[in-house]
Amino acid sequence: MIDLHLHLDGSLEADTILHLAQHDGVALPAQDAKGLKPYITAPGGKGLAGYLACFDLPLRVLQTPYSLTYAVSALIEQLDSEGMRYAEIRFAPQLHTRNGMSQQEVVEAALRGLEQGVGKSRHMGAQLILCCMRGADNHLENEQTVRLAREYLGSGVAAVDLAGAEEKFPTSDYRALFAEAARLDVPFTIHAGEADGAQSVRAAVEFGARRIGHGVRMCEDEEVMELVIEQGIALELCPTSNLQTGAVRSLRSYPIRRFLNAGVIATVNTDNRTVSGTTIKKELALLRQGISLTAEEEKMLLLNAIYASFLPEEEKQVLSEQIYVHGCYV
């Protein structure tokens, strides 16, 4: 199993938050896992605003080198225990500088956690994706994130991303940022077609994105969908999250089969394991139950994830061989 769209801050388990808060002296609204649950899991019917509010508490405890190293390592260990084989873990370095760390210190702390987690795991491989953030006054911070991705590319960092309030800060506003990423030869994925429509996906494609985060609203425009198919751009679909934020109205209307049948390189991911209360196994089970996802479609989704990963080609081949066991994919 593979997860290409996995946010660190949205995937902290309650026990991890409790440990980090105790270690760094951070006050919490509750002192046990049960009490923390309402603060870190998505409330029903609250849409994107309610969903995003669940990141406040995790970010509060991810403001020291120790916390970032520990959190990344713990997440990889958890993924490994579930039988995962590869993940690309994303986070925004600029959101972890409240206590005085530089973005570079943030990235280096996360890389230490990556090394520790992968080193302890049985089967897991992982890389980091550095997120730029949509906003009105963080242009310099975003530029620094791109430069750091270039500096650590191939040394644990795989790509950059753009996350945040998509409808308020349109993708089209970030053309210059991703022109710089392209100039530096930094691969990128962009959150698009979730809170905003197909025009957001079109802009990401025009910038040169290799993948689209979510992209479910791409189906509102056949021309955009054809553009994505022609250019071989993969979608990082996150069914539970898309339902919780209101990006799609119901599972029955979820467009994953339409995408697969049309030739879109669709993948299934968790987005935020804790906030959405999910795992890759749960996402696939949801699709089996909700739209009768077939075994052949599951296999295609897995193969798509290998193809769409930011791994070098030779490592994709190794990964493919590792997960093909006794005549079937695992």
- Reference 12, options 44, 36, 46; nearest CA is 36
Distance CA 304, CA 55 (A): 29
* Residue tagged active-site, from 88, 108, 166, 194: 194
Query: What's the 3-state SS for the chain?
Result: CEEEEEECHHHCCHHHHHHHHHHHCCCCCCCCHHHHHHHHCCCCCCHHHHHHHHHHHHHHCCCCHHHHHHHHHHHHHHHHHCCCCEEEEEECHHHHCCCCCCHHHHHHHHHHHHHHHHHHCCCCEEEEEEEEECCCCCHHHHHHHHHHHHHHECCCEEEEEEECCCCCCCHHHHHHHHHHHHHCCCCEEEEECCCCCHHHHHHHHHHCCCEEEECHHHHHCHHHHHHHHHCCCEEEECHHHHHHHCCCCCCCCCCHHHHHHHCCEEEECCECHHHHCCCHHHHHHHHHHHHCCCHHHHHHHHHHHHHHCCCCHHHHHHHHHHHEECCEEC
Distance CA 170, CA 146 (A): 19
Please confirm, yes or no, whether 194 is among the known catalytic residues: yes
Distance CA 50, CA 227 (A): 33
- Reference 213, options 227, 226, 223, 228; nearest CA is 228
Encoded tokens for 216: 């479910």
8 A C-beta contact, residue 102 and residue 141:
no
Which residue numbers are catalytic? Answer: 194
